[in-house]
A and B are shown apart, each in its own frame.
Chain A
Amino acid sequence: MTDTQGHHHEGEHAHPQLGFWRKYVFSTDHKVIGIQYLVTAMAMAVIGGTLSLLMRLQLGWPHGSWPFLASLMPRAFDSQGHMNADFYLSLVTMHGTIMVFFLFTAVLTGGFGNFLIPLQIGARDMAFPFLNALSYWIFLASCIVIFSALLVQGGAPLGGWTAYAPLSALPAAGPGQGTGMTLWITAIALFTASGLMGGLNYITTILTMRTKGLSMMRLPLTQWSLLITAVLGLLAFPVLLAAAILLVFDRVGGTSFFIPGGIVLNNKLIEHTGGHPLLWQHLFWFFGHPEVYIVILPAMGIASDILSTFCRKPIFSYKMMVYAMVAISGLSFIVWGHHMFVSGMSPFLGSVFTITTLLIAVPSAVKTFNWLGTVWGARIQFTSAALFSIGFVSMFISGGLSGPFLGTSAADIQLQDTYFVVAHFHLVMAIAPLFAAYAGLYYWFPKMFGRFMNETAGKIHFWMSFVGAYCVFFPMHIIGIGGQMRRIYDPLNYQFLVNQQIVNVFISISAFVLASAQILFLVNFFVSIWAGKRATENNPWKATTLEWEVPCPTGHGNFGPELPVVHRWAFDYSIPGATEDFVPQTAPAVPAQQERH
């Protein structure tokens, strides 16, 4: 019992038995909140994914007739069963918004962040548990609000997830720009409030509630990534909120923050004058680029820790991994202009943004090198979690390699708003974090539910997703260079795109294969909660971090009467001379040697 001499905690297991509602629904337990985030985000993923399949239907067969879908959604299709252009644009907007905010941001920081932070730092809960529960319920409200945008009169907004002004600032500008856009802004404002409550908790908890012996440089990389992500969110989301506030006043208060004079709408000159549409773009992307890293950094942390576990090797160059994440997050605030190279920006300023953007390649390459260094020469245990972690690295490299082309203003002017961009950001900030989230789910599932997910189904899920994702997103580079525009409704409208339409058909078929693999995952997930193989030991993967010291699933309060004491970093795998190929963080340094002296 040498590893349990921790400090006392008044909250130790004096908890009364709670009823079902308090225990599983209105809970302030970080583990329940984490799982609530996960499951809600999965529901949003099903919605967002379905929207993308409808888009692929239109892009693969632009003149196709879908009477069955038309009978389900009569306003979205015309009398012949063809999809309406307005509906297609609202699909683009809602798919992007739901996936970026309500899936990736929510699942990685809300889901894994809440579940893992206290467990991995040896705390009983978050610093502010009530605020944490409130954060989830506001997030749920934001999910309902954004979903309702699909159902209201006029439909969802048309301007894409970036909601560029003045389109977003003028309710009369399109069918979805009225109520739909209002709901969009409301949902984003709620999401921001929820995210700030979460971030406040993550930062405070990781900084102040680490258990004895757990110095910052002994933290698992997942914890580092969550801390840095929370700081990014703290600095980026309020700016989006500021922009959203100004946008609301433009829409309902008659102000002219983003609306220039001289716009004629429905044959009427609007009254606004003096606003600056590019101001929205600056504010949005000042938030938007860090948001990309809010999505990818926790994915990096999770994949790093899981890779190390299943390679049975310490992570290669831990310190550089931490510094690289800090560097990436710092740079993320001075690169936003690379989203605006064609906005009429001064070429000199464009060059500055090009340089800062290309600098991000350095820490990104450091991280990639270190992942390869971790895998190098390892006897990898190819579990589903390990496969998805390796898949994450693969997707990150493939998506990242097109980054320098887009970050260079000269090349970007050609590639801007084509499917090359769509390919780039889907690989690097959609599929890569998705793979890391899957890795995390397969890995921590026993800790969450006390059972394992089915490994065979997991491996089929991986290979179908891996091949499927490449079949969907790799050809997009080619049709993008071929000129196919992002957010295009009907490629056959353009003579120069007709010849490559066959690629769109291939992508669409691949997308349906990819989606069917995700259905397999969902079935595996929900069946395993009740019928999976039981996790009988605390530490089934033989990992080193603190969450594996406690039972699967973990009870309220996380740890026993005493909090654990940490004696080493999180990556002591395959240490020569140790009896097992891992040494937990709680193992004292050298009991044998001390005994000898």
Chain B
Amino acid sequence: MGILTQKRRGASIPPPPTPFGGGPGGSHSSFPISTAYVGTYVLMTAIIMLFAGLSSALIVLHGVPQWQNITVPNSVWANTMVLLASSVAVEFARAAIRKDQQSSLRQWLAISGLLGVAFLVGQVFVWRQLVNAGVYLSTTIHSSFFYVLTGAHALHLLGGLVGFGIVMYRAFANRLTAANHEPLKVWALYWHFMDVVWIYCFLLLILA
């Protein structure tokens, strides 16, 4: 293209003023964190702010006299264990790919994905339990927050399952290697983050 071949500017350009100058090339802009990771951190920040907004509303409304606690079903505890187990499976998958054990990677990945789906099914079960007990979205402010917070978390987990599909596809296409498995690492970060968000919401709801 030759688009950078403008006429040479001045043979006697003095050194640029400090502190912005520097020699040819100057400081490198190679950012220490990869694009995929930065993108994921940014996404996680947005999700943190969403849940911060929702939980600040919970904290404010917790102070109104009409606040009435609902009984959170015990099955939520079992469900929490399922989600944590899913995260543990992801770590086994990562350990497998670090040793380049492809079949072990696929097994552990499949287990973690299935546990994620099991958690979502379990959540539907929890909501149905509540409905059967006569606790609806609008029953009390506490129940409203229970449905909104767990629902928002479930939607974000569903988004995580899309990421799981991509990682799973790559694992079966043999495109994850011991040296380069960033998609798995990025997805694992998000998946663990979903655990943290879940535990935060869960604690907020049972301690309220």
Query: Any chain B CB within 8 A of the CB of A360?
Result: no
Binds B, one of A37-45, A148-156, A580-588: A580-588
B18-41 interface bits toward A, Cβ cutoff 8 Å, 1 = contact, 0 = none: 011111111111010111001100
Query: B46 and A276: CB pair below 8 A?
Result: no
Query: B49 and A591: CB pair below 8 A?
Result: no
Query: B54 and A242: CB pair below 8 A?
Result: yes
B4 in complex: contacting residue of A4, A207, A590, CB < 8 Å: A4
Interface residues of A in 438-459 (CB under 8 A from B): none
Query: A577 and B29: CB pair below 8 A?
Result: no
Q: Which residues of B contact A203 (CB under 8 A)?
A: 38, 42
Q: Which residues of B contact A84 (CB under 8 A)?
A: none
Report the minimum CB–CB distance from B12 to chain A (whole Å): 4
Query: A580 and B10: CB pair below 8 A?
Result: yes
Most buried by B among A4, A210, A211, A567: A567
B13 in complex: contacting residue of A243, A286, A577, CB < 8 Å: A577
Identify the closest chain B residue to A563 (Cβ).
B4
Query: B4 and A235: CB pair below 8 A?
Result: no
- B: interface residue count bin: 35 or more
- A: interface residue count bin: 35 or more
Interface residues of A in 555-574 (CB under 8 A from B): 555, 559-562, 564-569, 571-572
The complex places the Cα of A211 from the Cα of B25 at a distance, in Å, of 10
Binds A, one of B60-68, B76-84, B116-124: B60-68
Q: Which residues of A contact B47 (CB under 8 A)?
A: 238
Query: A569 and B16: CB pair below 8 A?
Result: yes
Q: Which residues of B contact A577 (CB under 8 A)?
A: 12-14
Tell me whether A583 and B10 are in contact in the complex, defined as CB-CB below 8 angstroms, given that A128-B39, A203-B38, A274-B66 are known contacts: yes
Query: A256 and B141: CB pair below 8 A?
Result: yes
Identify the closest chain A residue to B140 (Cβ).
A274
B40-52 interface bits toward A, Cβ cutoff 8 Å, 1 = contact, 0 = none: 0011011101111
Query: Any chain B CB within 8 A of the CB of A212?
Result: yes
Identify the closest chain A residue to B28 (Cβ).
A212
Identify the closest chain A residue to B136 (Cβ).
A254
Query: B5 and A1: CB pair below 8 A?
Result: yes
Q: Which residues of A contact B50 (CB under 8 A)?
A: 238-239, 241-242
Query: Any chain B CB within 8 A of the CB of A533?
Result: no
Query: Any chain A CB within 8 A of the CB of B56?
Result: yes
**For the complex, would chain A's binding face be called helix, strand, loop or mixed by DSSP majority?**
loop
Identify the closest chain B residue to A551 (Cβ).
B3
Q: Which residues of B contact A589 (CB under 8 A)?
A: 13, 15-16, 21-24
Q: Which residues of B contact A199 (CB under 8 A)?
A: 42, 46
Most buried by A among B13, B26, B66: B13
Query: A255 and B27: CB pair below 8 A?
Result: no
Q: Which residues of A contact B9 (CB under 8 A)?
A: 578-580, 583-584, 587
Q: Which residues of A contact B54 (CB under 8 A)?
A: 242, 245-246
Query: Any chain B CB within 8 A of the CB of A318?
Result: yes
Interface residues of B in 143-174 (CB under 8 A from A): 144, 148, 152
Binds B, one of A100-108, A213-221, A506-514: A213-221
Query: A565 and B14: CB pair below 8 A?
Result: no
Query: B27 and A127: CB pair below 8 A?
Result: no
Q: Which residues of B contact A254 (CB under 8 A)?
A: 136-138
Tell me whether A560 and B144 are in contact in the complex, defined as CB-CB below 8 angstroms, given that A209-B35, A213-B25, A569-B20 are known contacts: no
Query: Any chain A CB within 8 A of the CB of B2?
Result: yes
Query: Any chain B CB within 8 A of the CB of A257?
Result: yes
Query: B20 and A586: CB pair below 8 A?
Result: no
A256-294 interface bits toward B, Cβ cutoff 8 Å, 1 = contact, 0 = none: 110001000000000001111001001100100000000
Tell me whether A13 and B14 are in contact in the complex, defined as CB-CB below 8 angstroms, given that A208-B35, A245-B54, A257-B141 are known contacts: no
The complex places the Cα of A248 from the Cα of B51 at a distance, in Å, of 16
Query: A245 and B4: CB pair below 8 A?
Result: no
The complex places the Cα of A538 from the Cα of B49 at a distance, in Å, of 43
Q: Which residues of B contact A235 (CB under 8 A)?
A: 45, 49
Identify the closest chain B residue to A558 (Cβ).
B3
Tell me whether A274 and B12 are in contact in the complex, defined as CB-CB below 8 angstroms, given that A203-B42, A242-B53, A588-B24 are known contacts: no
Query: A257 and B144: CB pair below 8 A?
Result: yes
Query: Any chain A CB within 8 A of the CB of B196?
Result: no
A560 in complex: contacting residue of B2, B52, B57, CB < 8 Å: B2
Query: Any chain B CB within 8 A of the CB of A576?
Result: yes
Query: B53 and A549: CB pair below 8 A?
Result: no
Query: B46 and A238: CB pair below 8 A?
Result: yes
Query: B15 and A564: CB pair below 8 A?
Result: no
- Chain A contacts to B: CB under 8 angstroms: 1, 3-4, 13, 127-128, 196, 199-200, 203-204, 207-218, 234-243, 245-246, 249, 253-257, 261, 273-276, 279, 282-283, 286, 314, 318, 538-539, 549-551, 555, 559-562, 564-569, 571-572, 575-580, 583-584, 586-593
Closest 7 CB pairs of A and B: A274-B66, A242-B53, A579-B10, A254-B138, A210-B29, A569-B20, A239-B53
7 A-B residue pairs with Cβ-Cβ distance under 8 Å, sorted by A, are A3-B4, A200-B42, A208-B33, A283-B57, A560-B1, A571-B20, A592-B11
- Other A-B pairs beyond A213-B27, A245-B148, 7, CB < 8 Å: A215-B27, A218-B20, A241-B50, A242-B53, A245-B152, A279-B61, A579-B11
